[in-house]
Structure 1
């Protein structure tokens, strides 16, 4: 396994061309897709021809340092989903989006916080990013709670993309949280 990052309970690695079935299975769960597509699964062909090639191209674009990473439990090796840390396609390279999509079996175990916290540390100490941001729907309390536990600051409301208008709660819009490297340094455990 080509390990990108390890935490106490997680191993993150780069996806490979052989991983389409993992993504298809993840995106086929209506609960996982609730705040993304209203519970509609991603078509397997879209995963194979659009999503996975885009993920793999991201490693090339950002030198393997940034992108979308498969997440596994260290104990037992179960695939639990993915985490991402990557710039917007046309955005500044010193800013990156933080995100995750986890299987239901991994919910409520603190994995989203643990993996995201490790990615923030890598972003600011190893990659020298200036700022990391994350967006979710206003009604997605679970993801908002993770962002708050990461000491990210609610910055603004954001519109919901047109392709998400059918999602329950989309009329309330979305929210954007941010944290700068300077804020992270001041807030991390042991900082003075």
Structure 2
């Protein structure tokens, strides 16, 4: 098991097949999927496929979403991290997308902000990336707040599969000046 980051409260590590139940709790919740197309997972087979795809991204791109684990309880909280996007999204291709998703009982505890800051630090200081993008449904005010609070700048709105999204970006220079 590879641990990428540790914060005061959290361990951020690779997603493992043993995270299946935590991922199912996360992705089967309709509230979690309100701004994700309203298609919650229906069974563990879907989750096993998600884990397989994320682990393949580690091999193909050297990066992928990471599990967030509570240091005190060892509970799976959700995921965070970067994804290397190879399909065109908002006229961009081959870019690093910052993302996060938490089990509902962990919302409003600063975890998304904490893991986003840690991910940006890792991206710019360990991976030496020059820019990171983020996006969220325009209705997802909580996610918009996390992105802005951690330094990403709003660029524009765009259509993603018929749904209006906000598009954000931060450069290494902007991060360094913060």
With normalisation by structure 1, the TM-score equals: 0.84
1:36 aligns with 2:36: yes
Query: Residue 86 of structure 1: CA displacement?
Result: 2.0
For 1:105-144, list aligned pairs within 5 A.
105-144=105-144
Q: How many aligned positions are there?
A: 172
Aligned to 2:24: 24
Query: Residue 140 of structure 1: CA displacement?
Result: 0.5
For 2:40 and 2:154, the matched residues in 1 are separated by 29
For 1:96 and 1:160, the matched residues in 2 are separated by 17
Aligned to 2:81: 84
The answer (yes or no) to whether the contact 1:131–1:181 under 8 Å persists in 2 is yes
Alignment RMSD, CA only?
Answer: 1.5
Pick the aligned partner of 1:184 from 163, 175, 178: 175
Query: Residue 116 of structure 1: CA displacement?
Result: 0.4
The answer (yes or no) to whether the contact 1:80–1:103 under 8 Å persists in 2 is yes
For 2:124 and 2:144, the matched residues in 1 are separated by 21
Task: Give the gaps of 5 or more residues in structure 1.
Answer: 163-169, 188-192
The higher radius of gyration belongs to 1
For 1:151 and 1:68, the matched residues in 2 are separated by 20
User: Of Structure 1 and Structure 2, which has the larger fraction of its residues in strand?
Assistant: 2
The answer (yes or no) to whether the contact 2:153–2:168 under 8 Å persists in 1 is yes
For 1:182 and 1:146, the matched residues in 2 are separated by 19
Pick the aligned partner of 1:67 from 64, 69, 76: 64
The answer (yes or no) to whether the contact 1:82–1:101 under 8 Å persists in 2 is yes
**Secondary structure in structure 2 of the residue aligned to 1:87:** strand
Query: Residue 21 of structure 1: CA displacement?
Result: 2.3
1:55 aligns with 2:54: yes
